Amino acid sequence: MTQIKGIIKALCISEARGTEKHEVEKVKLIKNFGLENDAHGGNWHRQVSLLSYDRVEEFNAKGGKAAVGAFGENILAAEIDFPSLPVGTLLFAGDAVLKITQIGKECHSHCQIFQRVGDCIMPREGVFATVEQEGILQAGMEMTAQLPSADDPLRAAVITLSDKGAAGTRVDTSGPTAAKLLSEAGYEIVEQMLLPDMQGKIERELKRLADSRQVDLIITTGGTGMAPRDVTPEATMAVATRLVPGIAEAIRAGSMQITQRAMLSRGVAVLRNRTLIVNLPGSKKAVEEALAIVLPELEHGIRLAKGTDGECGRQ
């Protein structure tokens, strides 16, 4: 497996959210939490933040004057270009093991650095990780990045689109059903969410999951019909880089054998770069039927998009 070696230059924590991180001599990484005594630790996918020292040096050479920890980073390391590494990369330092889970992040409120110089590198250069194995880190330690294997399990996210579900007036059964079937097929489910039928919000989440979390497959359920609030296909098309019409065609054709109303579904299937996005109807039964039709062939298509599988032709 490909490995990249670097050096930890600094370690930082903040004891309370909303306060700047400060440099510490050493830190303890706690499995499934993050850095001991750091306010951003917890049972989520952004337990530890990392930033390339070389990128900070470039920023400061342009007049940035950013101190260690000013970008909110926990770990500052040299000779590893973090944003160029794919999600799933393992980071080894001493006994500790981290796994990269997200590249970059959306900036909701501009930090002091942005307000001073009009730029901040953390939203595009920073990465986030979970702690897979505990250990003690100190500045000067070697850190090794190990790229994911081509045969690692594919990663998936499931989004249910429903105004009533998001408002808590209807129990979502379609999303959990999709997640269960994907998990049984060998996919790693990294996120499940329930959103209202709001096109802008749907587009933002599709972009985040595809670009920052780099999931291989996004399944949406709901919002594919002809009602005025059914905007899932429009949101999906808005973020697409390529179309994959055969998947939606196959779902409609197969579903037509069960109910003629399948012709009214407007669901689409697209690629956003290397992430496949497939719209499914919003009922548990329809999700089961649709995935029975297309799920056996999706992995091959996804791995083709990732460049880790051969051509479609069969002997």
pLDDT by residue (tens digit) across 143-166? Answer: 999 999 988 999 999 999 999 999
What domains can be seen in the chain, in order of their start residue?
3-146 (2.40.33.20), 155-306 (3.40.980.10)
What the block records as the tokens of 258 is 């069960």
Q: What angle do CA 95, 97, 101 make, to 5 degrees?
A: 165
On the CB side of 156, how many CA atoms lie within 13 Å of its CA? Answer: 29
| pLDDT for the residue numbered 314 | 46
Amino acid at 138: Q
Amino acid at 177: T
Which residues is 49 bridged to in the sheet? 128
Whole-model pTM: value is: 0.91
Counting DSSP H helices and E strands in the chain, the numbers are: 9, 17
- 51, burial (CB in 10 Å: exposed 0-12, middle 13-18, buried 19+): buried
Q: Are 219 and 154 in contact (CB under 8 A)?
A: no
What are the two backbone dihedrals, phi and then psi, of residue 65, each rounded to the nearest 5 degrees? 55, 45
The distance between the two most distant Cα atoms of the chain, rounded to a whole number of Å, is 67
Cα–Cα distance measured from residue 21 to residue 51, given in angstroms and rounded to the nearest whole number: 13
Cα–Cα distance measured from residue 108 to residue 105, given in angstroms and rounded to the nearest whole number: 9
Crossing angle between the packed helical segments 232-239 and 199-207, to the nearest 10 degrees: 40
- pLDDT (mean) for 28-57: 95
Q: Which of 197, 192, 199, 194 is nearest to 163 (CA)?
A: 197
Give yes or no for residue 303 having a pLDDT over 90. Answer: yes
**DSSP states along 273-315:** TTEEEEEE-SSHHHHHHHHHHHHHHHHHHHHHHHT-S--S---
| pLDDT for the residue numbered 315 | 41
Summarised one tens digit per residue, pLDDT across range 172-217 is 999 999 999 999 999 999 999 999 999 999 999 999 999 999 999 9
Cα–Cα distance measured from residue 12 to residue 10, given in angstroms and rounded to the nearest whole number: 7
